Amino acid sequence: MNVWVDADACPVVIKEILFRAARRASVIVTLVANKTLLVPASPHIKTLQVAATIDAADQAIVDRTVPGDLVVTADIPLAALVVEKGAQALSPRGVLFDRESIGPHVAMRNFMTDLRNTGTPTGGPASLTLSDRQNFANRLDAWLARRQTS
């Protein structure tokens, strides 16, 4: 099982949590982005640079994800695609997306897109909070614990 990171928009603090977890749990964490990334030297931390085209990183993640993997992303359509393949997705805010929970998130994302398309201002996402970071770390630790017992 691997952890794939949609790294272009992943907050630095979340990457740091992932780097520590990779070393601690000896799990492979691969950051996928359309630019060069600097990561700590570790056999458990990898990068994959993709073309600078729309959705290239998402497609690379989908192509490589297998059942049991974890994908770190705030991108709901990407989360839906990897869940369909039998993986789980985890947002930087600590929201876990799986087969049971992804549907309402997709519906809300589509609703908000429709609102924006009508010209209705919807605002952007709130800043990442300390609580969000803690939720992320807790969900990641729970996933890692399940991985070690399976």
| Confidence class for position 14, pLDDT limits 50, 70, 90 | very high
Domains in the chain, ordered, with CATH? 2-149 (3.40.50)
**Mind listing the pLDDT tens digit for each residue in 81-130?**
999 999 999 999 999 998 888 777 666 766 666 767 888 777 777 789 99
Question: Which one is predicted more confidently, 117 or 150?
Answer: 117
Among residues 63, 57, 79, 65, which one has the least CA distance to residue 9? 57
Among residues 8, 23, 11, 14, which one has the least CA distance to residue 135? 14
Does the pLDDT value for residue 54 go beyond 90? no
Note the pLDDT of residue 127. Answer: 87
